[in-house]
Structure 1
């Protein structure tokens, strides 16, 4: 079993799991359904194609740079009547960086690795309006555990963000993984993909557990030591303040 690591970074990202009607929210990290959709697009699969092999992949994601949540208002009109549709709220993550990992059969992971390096359809970060910043491929890892792979992955935050933490030799990063046998109960999220068919999209619940990893900071810069010159203490001479009396 192998792991494929992906760097998900861009000006804007949006990973919806429970968005409905005019309010399109985003999770704080990439969802499994969103990453599986990215991989299916890279393979060139149709939206109505079978997803069972991709949905069976084990998934985890690490938050390297949380970004900032943005809210956008969008308007639209019906094409036939020009009647205005309700104003919709769209939420995004700006300047965020994540590392996602999927684990599965060696042959499937090799196929996915080749696909993300030369995708049939261009990948996007949750929505088509959110292209990635640079290649998403970080390569394959031999370990079969996506969480362990993320614990060993280098910090992928932007250079300017890493410099803000240059006094910290290690950084603690949150990892969101899937619950396995024997692990504690986690939160539930409806983003286990069943079908991407636009006529009937289907998702089921999956359990998400949170852990953390301490990762070395490549921009660590210890504060410079300055040599202090000792200042001599003044001699205590209280009698020097006394004036001699006249006629003494």
Structure 2
């Protein structure tokens, strides 16, 4: 993993993890993390959205959906290709997934209502 991380930061050739017409614009590796719980690691990483999306958010955190491969996950998908035989078709194996929500810092400071301002006071709450 250390070698892959080093090579993805300073690649000897241009990297095209998908289509050649769509090279990555951001970093491919955010560095190696210690053995910790995945939601904690993802929650500690800065939000990688572009400036336009970050400017649309004013809250101190943003909730993002994450799909992770987990052997105890409750969602099974058939998307791991086992064979590419042209005569019989492609066969797929299963893997288990887990969907979760991660709160990530948006970089905006937390704002509080000014003293004396209660937005629910008019409703009698």
TM bracket, shorter-chain basis: 0.5 to 0.7
The CA RMSD measured in Å over matched residues stands at 3.3
Take 2:91 and 2:3, find their aligned partners in 1: how far apart are those partners?
25
Whether 2:9 is the aligned partner of 1:117: answer: yes
**Offset at residue 110 of structure 1 (A):** 0.7
Take 2:39 and 2:81, find their aligned partners in 1: how far apart are those partners?
18
TM norm structure 1: 0.37
Take 2:32 and 2:98, find their aligned partners in 1: how far apart are those partners?
23
Give matches, 1:53-132, under 5 Å.
109-132=1-24
Give the match for residue 175 of structure 1.
66
TM norm structure 2: 0.67
Give the match for residue 96 of structure 2.
207
1:119-157 per-residue CA deviation (whole Å, 9 max, x = no partner) reads: 244222421211011432311111255444213222111
Take 2:82 and 2:38, find their aligned partners in 1: how far apart are those partners?
18
Contact 1:154 1:215 in 2 (8 A): yes
After TM superposition, what 4+ stretches of structure 1 lie above 3 angstroms from structure 2? 144-148, 191-195, 201-204, 220-225
Contact 1:179 1:207 in 2 (8 A): yes
Q: Which residues of structure 2 form unaligned runs of 5+?
A: 85-89, 117-125
Q: Which residues of structure 1 form unaligned runs of 5+?
A: 1-108, 196-200, 228-248
Contact 1:163 1:219 in 2 (8 A): no
Number of positions where the alignment pairs a residue of Structure 1 with one of Structure 2:
111
Take 2:70 and 2:26, find their aligned partners in 1: how far apart are those partners?
31
**Offset at residue 189 of structure 1 (A):** 4.3
**Offset at residue 222 of structure 1 (A):** 3.3
Structure in which a larger fraction of residues adopt strand: 1
**Offset at residue 173 of structure 1 (A):** 0.9
Give the match for residue 136 of structure 1.
28
Give the match for residue 217 of structure 1.
106
Of structures 1 and 2, the larger Rg is shown by 1
Contact 2:76 2:94 in 1 (8 A): no
* Matched position secondary structure for 1:208: strand
Contact 1:179 1:209 in 2 (8 A): yes
Name whichever of 137-146 and 155-164 sits farther off.
Answer: 137-146
Contact 2:76 2:97 in 1 (8 A): yes
